[in-house]
């Protein structure tokens, strides 16, 4: 299948999957996410200017109206408290469309409370998240309230937070060109968004790392899942990877599309223990595949998150 046909099929799948302008995926303790997921999917489509998605993006923006909390934030779903990552994706969606589904200054101010010298934290303070997860006062929340590279990379793509987030990412890039991803099993997530936001040698190094991951079959673990592969492709495009490597990654993704126009759900969200600042180091968090609370590792059950990621990556690769 050609990239254009794959993109069109993916868009058709996303159109069928939308309910009242929103998409859903990832079942955790607050329920299924339809707020953060909608903001992410719509932002990716709008930023990449994916053909035929103007109506979907407009419907998603409308579907997010009324979801902003009094503190200016958006969240996982209507039951969850607001967080920086969800709010950042709504802000990025609005930056791409010129339309914000609420009070933009309040959202920007709220995100500002999450900015640290070493990046952007998902949660700005211990409360009310400590009470919500029923953690005792003796339990540290340094993991959830510390800066997260994957959230920082998203913030680097927004003008309001680009300077602080970009400085943190440049200082923290590993020798091999990568960064960790706190909430994801795929470090390609951080690399893709950081490379696109930062450019220059930082992006080039990230692209080289991502190309090596794909060449070695390491993306998304041993199975080379489409979510991590698409993110690796985005990092490669942003980093100016050789055309042959980019074309190979594009061809690989086009071969993985399913008959329904989706790609296999392979985005794996993880929830480290709140006192775990480094979930890649074994020992502190006990992982529970399919869990709902701390330690959970869950896939995007609908395939929407993965499919939107692949579609946006293919369009960006085609526009290079």
> What string of pLDDT tens digits covers the 320 residues of the chain?
999 999 999 999 999 999 999 999 999 999 999 999 999 999 999 999 999 999 999 999 999 999 999 999 999 999 999 999 999 999 999 999 999 999 999 999 999 999 999 999 999 999 999 998 989 989 999 999 999 999 999 999 999 999 999 999 999 999 999 999 999 999 999 999 999 999 999 999 999 999 999 987 654 443 469 999 999 999 999 999 999 999 999 999 999 999 999 999 999 999 999 999 999 999 889 999 999 999 999 999 999 999 999 999 999 999 98
Q: What is the pLDDT of residue 221?
A: 43
Q: What is the per-residue pLDDT across 92-126, written as a single tens digit (0 to 9) for each? A: 999 999 999 999 999 999 999 999 999 999 999 99
- Which CA distances in Å does 152 have to 9, 43, 245, 250? 32, 16, 27, 27
Q: Is 157 exposed, middle or buried (0-12, 13-18, 19+ CB in 10 A)?
A: buried
CA distance 97 to 77: 22
Give the pLDDT of residue 270: 98
Burial class (CB in 10 A: 0-12, 13-18, 19+), 81: middle
- Domain ranges for the chain, please list them: 3-318
* CATH 1.50.10.20 holds for 3-318: yes
pTM over 0.85: yes
What is residue 320's predicted lDDT score, i.e. its pLDDT?
80
Per-residue confidence (pLDDT) for residue 220, from 0 to 100: 42
DSSP 241-296: --HHHHHHHHHHHHHT--TTS------EEE---TT-S-TTSTTSS--EET-SSTTE
Q: Are 173 and 179 in contact (CB under 8 A)?
A: yes
Nearest to 50 by CA among 91, 104, 14: 14
Residue 263 CA to residue 255 CA, distance in Å, equals: 10
Structure tokens at 93: 């969606």
């Amino acid at each position: 299948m050609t990239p254009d046909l794959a993109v069109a099929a993916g868009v058709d799948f996303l159109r069928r999957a939308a309910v009242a302008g929103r998409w859903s995926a990832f079942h955790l303790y607050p329920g299924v996410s339809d707020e953060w997921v909608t903001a992410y999917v719509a932002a990716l489509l709008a930023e990449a200017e994916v053909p035929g998605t103007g109506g979907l993006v407009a419907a998603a923006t409308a579907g997010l109206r009324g979801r902003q909390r009094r503190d200016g934030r958006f969240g996982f779903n209507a039951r969850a408290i607001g967080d920086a990552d969800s709010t950042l994706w709504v802000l990025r969606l609005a930056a791409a469309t010129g339309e914000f589904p609420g009070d933009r200054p309040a959202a920007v101010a709220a995100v500002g409370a999450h900015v640290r010298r070493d990046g952007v934290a998902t949660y700005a303070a211990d409360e009310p998240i400590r009470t919500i997860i029923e953690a005792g006062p003796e339990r540290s929340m340094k993991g959830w309230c510390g800066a997260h590279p994957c959230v920082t990379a998203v913030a680097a793509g927004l003008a309001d937070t680009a300077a602080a987030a970009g400085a943190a990412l440049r200082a923290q890039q590993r020798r091999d060109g990568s960064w960790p991803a706190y909430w994801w099993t795929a470090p390609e997530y951080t690399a893709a968004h950081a490379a696109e936001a930062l450019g220059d040698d930082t992006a080039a190094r990230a692209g080289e790392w991502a190309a090596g991951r794909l060449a070695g079959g390491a993306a998304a673990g041993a199975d080379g899942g489409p979510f991590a592969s698409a993110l690796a492709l985005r990092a490669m495009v942003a980093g100016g990877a050789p055309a042959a490597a980019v074309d190979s990654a594009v061809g690989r993704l086009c071969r993985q599309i399913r008959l329904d126009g989706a790609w296999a759900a392979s985005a794996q969200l993880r929830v480290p223990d709140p006192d775990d600042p480094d979930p890649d180091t074994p020992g502190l968090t006990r992982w529970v595949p399919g869990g709902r609370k701390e330690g959970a590792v869950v896939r995007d059950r609908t395939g929407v998150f993965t499919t939107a990621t692949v579609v946006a990556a293919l369009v960006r690769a085609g526009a290079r």
